[in-house]
Structure 1
Amino acid sequence: MRRGLLSLAWGSAQASASLTLASAAWLVSGLTASPLINSLLPVLATAAALLPLPQQPLLGSLLQLLATLLLLAIGLHRHNLDPATATASATGAASAAVGGGAVLPLALALLAVLLFGLGLQIGQLPLQRFLVGVQGISMRRLRSGSELGALLGHLLTALLFPIGKAVLQFSQALVLLLPLLPAALLSRRPGHRHLPTRSGPDLASAASSTALTASAATAVAASTAVAAAAGANPGGSVSLNWRCCLQGILFGSLFGLLPLWVRQLGGGSCFDFGMVLTAYGLGRLLAAAGPAGSLPSPPALVATAALAGPWRLHPARGLPYLLLAFTLAGTQWLPGWGSLVLFLPMGGLAALSDARLVATLDTHPDDSATDEPLRWQTLARSSGVGALAGSLLMGGTAQLLGLPLALPLQVLAFAAAAVPLSLAGRRRGLA
């Protein structure tokens, strides 16, 4: 198979994942308005990345297909409901409690998300290794496909719902997932199995200026990146970093309840929700396309932190989080499309904070400072743990105090986190 076709197939699969998970998040928010139950969705999608599961690309793809088919069946069931009920579920406010008729669809939707997360965890990392290590696709090209695919998936989330509701969303997600199946079959050949995380200087140099993970526009979409990059590492374990965990808590708590915020507080539709994700993803994409030299190299940052001494403040590191707090608050001050536009710089700031954390991560003592894939895996795994905790924390808080109070608390959390994330730690924790 030609590299161009494989790159397109990879991007198509990322579009399918973001479309499936974002559409599932909107579907669940229509079945129940309970913040705690809604916060379970990113938890179920992300938790699989924390389990020691086997790496089987074909099995992973089949699990994703099964999960999408299950979500499609739920969409068909909702479509066949009484028109008034279906319309209220699609555009209006869902009831705070789960009605008797929604218990089974809700349980099946959560199960489908869990299966989809398992499929990502089992299949995406070996597929990445196969595409980069065997097919010779550059990491920059693979990452561009991931970013563009995720952006396309979120745009389709917005555009397809007004036309055909969840049925069209999940059926299109199925179509987008199919092109990667031949690559999954090809990677099962004996000579292509158990590829190491680092396959010599070529892979390391190809990865030196890019990332292993796709963009994370929501905590749900973040699970795509976590599952893709935080899998089993045959060459060594992937450690956790507390700064990456803290950042994961911030974004997990924010995006875990985003569908409810759009639906309940903003009175928006799935189109609005999808456009918010698209603006955020576009911001990440534009930031990732910026000049590679805009961030200092890891050795330079390590030396700077060493001169500053342990646990000294580096205000520039905390600035993105203060700006995120300001822009998040601004979404409540500006009406309509004005608040939507603010998610564009939010995506850029999130990508900048990711890059700075990765640039300053120190890995195991026997690893080179240029082992960027391992640092991105550390970010992905640590952020996944944090996102899991943050989503549950904000969901429980909103359940107790009410959804309107959750957003001001989120703004305060971003502002407060700027202080610990500005610290220059000791040798292992300079991020």
Structure 2
Amino acid sequence: MLAWGSAQASTSLTLAAAAWMVSGLSPSPLVNSMLPALVTLPVLLPLIHRPLAGVILQLLAVLVLLGLGVGTSPAVGAPTPELSIPVLLAMASVLAVAVGAQMTVLPVQRTLLAVHQLPMGQLRRVGEFGALLGHGLTALLFPIGRALLQFSQALVLLLPALPLARQARGEARRQAAGAGAPPAPVPFSWRCAMQGVLFGGLFGLLPLWVRQVEAGTCLDFGLVLAAYGLGRCLGGDWGLAWWPMARQLVGTRREGAFRYLVMALLLGATRWLPGWGSLLLFLPMGGLAQASDLDQVRGLTDLGDEPLSWQSLARSGAIGGLIGSLAMGLVAQLLGLPVALPLQLGLFIGAALVLPPRP
């Protein structure tokens, strides 16, 4: 479990640090929105599940990012609108990290579930806490050693995954030798895809927004991600303390739409509250996002398989996230970055209005 959580921390730290690096290398919203699109792209590809090769690929990609961190430390340098060589290398490394993680995650999860007899809920919570740790380290390490320290620590956090990946490789070979029927195809869910559009657009331009519009630092960016991640950890199966009251008010069939409306209000309030007040609003946003994920999975009752339901959420959400991040980046590129937040508010409100009640 420690190795699994450490790997998730390494991935979240790597991706957040790379996103901040690219936001300093290029002020283009379209270029920056391509980064989360590259992260979600491997979920849609028919990759071979090779856990050990996946971890090694991630290690090599982090080494490349570490080299870029050495070249851009202590300052990122003057931003340029074109696709420079460092930006292209950073984007290729992010894609390699995402591909490696996708090659690794399913065999490792199956090993932890089957061999170590860990429940899916516990596995999910450890992953959430690992991502929270990675985002916290993104904020805390940058003031000390900037990108150099961020990527070096991401490399260290990924090393414990090597023995786990070797065990998962052996378990995958044993399962393949005794495999019978092919695995069931992952179905598409338009509700999950719509949610992916919303969150893909929101987080696609977040580092550039913090840097340019809010004049913030990587510490601010990392704390925003950490607050959101903490909200997800606290808001999952336990739920928010006030949510049963809201459920009685709107009914269980409309609570999904009501969540989007509340998230729109919280997102809009971040522009009015100063400093820490704005940061703290990402706590309930993370809790609502986690509750929405759980609601989406529980709504896929026709699948009758919880792991398959989570795969449907991941794949359908990835399709939506890919569309949302690129569309928001293109709009911000054409109309300017300040229009991104009002447009994002409109999307959340529109989703709350048009989302039909759950059957």
- Is TM (by shorter chain) over 0.5? yes
Q: Is 1:331 aligned with 2:282? A: no
Does structure 2 conserve the Cα–Cα contact (< 8 Å) formed by 1:187 and 1:193?
A: no
What is the deviation of 1:144? 2.0
Does structure 2 conserve the Cα–Cα contact (< 8 Å) formed by 1:321 and 1:415?
A: yes
Q: Is 1:395 aligned with 2:334? A: no
Does structure 2 conserve the Cα–Cα contact (< 8 Å) formed by 1:57 and 1:187?
A: yes
What is the deviation of 1:172? 0.1
Aligned pair count reads 350
2:282 to 319, 343, 365: 343
What is the deviation of 1:183? 1.1
Q: Distance in 2 between matches of 1:137 and 1:192?
A: 20
1:195-214 matched pairs, under 5 angstroms:
none
Q: Distance in 2 between matches of 1:111 and 1:234?
A: 32
1:39-54 matched pairs, under 5 angstroms:
39-54=33-48
Q: Which residue of the partner structure matches residue 81 of structure 2?
A: 97
* 271 and 291 in structure 1: CA distance in 2 versus 1, 3 angstrom threshold: closer
Unaligned ranges ≥5, structure 1: 1-6, 200-232, 297-312, 425-429
Q: Which residue of the partner structure matches residue 314 of structure 2?
A: 380
Does structure 1 conserve the Cα–Cα contact (< 8 Å) formed by 2:224 and 2:279?
A: yes
- The one-letter code of the counterpart of 1:326 is L
RMSD, matched Cα = 2.4
Q: Which residue of the partner structure matches residue 272 of structure 1?
A: 220
Deviations 1:145-184 (A, max 9, x none): 1011000000000000000000000000000000010011
* 386 and 270 in structure 1: CA distance in 2 versus 1, 3 angstrom threshold: same
What is the deviation of 1:324? 0.5
Q: Distance in 2 between matches of 1:66 and 1:103?
A: 21
2:120 to 139, 147, 153: 139
TM-score of the superposed pair, with normalisation by structure 1: 0.77
What is the deviation of 1:193? 4.0
Unaligned ranges ≥5, structure 2: 245-251
Runs of 4+ in 1 over 3 A off after TM superposition: 190-196
Does structure 2 conserve the Cα–Cα contact (< 8 Å) formed by 1:129 and 1:195?
A: no
- The one-letter code of the counterpart of 1:41 is L
1:109 to 90, 100, 108: 90
Q: Is 1:247 aligned with 2:195? A: yes
Does structure 1 conserve the Cα–Cα contact (< 8 Å) formed by 2:111 and 2:171?
A: no
Does structure 1 conserve the Cα–Cα contact (< 8 Å) formed by 2:39 and 2:94?
A: yes
* 96 and 77 in structure 1: CA distance in 2 versus 1, 3 angstrom threshold: closer
Find the residue that maps to 1:319 and give its secondary structure. helix
What is the deviation of 1:291? 6.0
Q: Which residue of the partner structure matches residue 405 of structure 1?
A: 339
Q: Distance in 2 between matches of 1:291 and 1:271?
A: 28
1:184-195 matched pairs, under 5 angstroms:
184-189=165-170, 193-194=174-175
TM-score of the superposed pair, with normalisation by structure 2: 0.92
Q: Which residue of the partner structure matches residue 291 of structure 2?
A: 352
Find the residue that maps to 1:188 and give its secondary structure. helix
1:74 to 53, 68, 74: 68
What is the deviation of 1:191? 7.0
What is the deviation of 1:285? 0.4
Does structure 2 conserve the Cα–Cα contact (< 8 Å) formed by 1:156 and 1:169?
A: yes
Q: Distance in 2 between matches of 1:32 and 1:273?
A: 17
Q: Distance in 1 between matches of 2:106 and 2:171?
A: 17
Q: Distance in 2 between matches of 1:339 and 1:21?
A: 23
Find the residue that maps to 1:236 and give its secondary structure. coil
What is the deviation of 1:295? 9.8
Q: Is 1:31 aligned with 2:25? A: yes
* 346 and 291 in structure 1: CA distance in 2 versus 1, 3 angstrom threshold: closer
What is the deviation of 1:423? 3.1
Deviations 1:355-386 (A, max 9, x none): 111111144xxx53xx1111111111100110
1:196-235 matched pairs, under 5 angstroms:
234-235=182-183
Q: Distance in 1 between matches of 2:313 and 2:183?
A: 17
Q: Distance in 1 between matches of 2:65 and 2:109?
A: 26
- The one-letter code of the counterpart of 1:72 is L
Q: Distance in 1 between matches of 2:215 and 2:171?
A: 53
- The one-letter code of the counterpart of 2:194 is L
Aligned-residue sequence identity (percent) comes to 55
1:4-23 matched pairs, under 5 angstroms:
7-23=1-17
Find the residue that maps to 1:163 and give its secondary structure. helix
What is the deviation of 1:140? 2.5
Find the residue that maps to 2:5 and give its secondary structure. helix
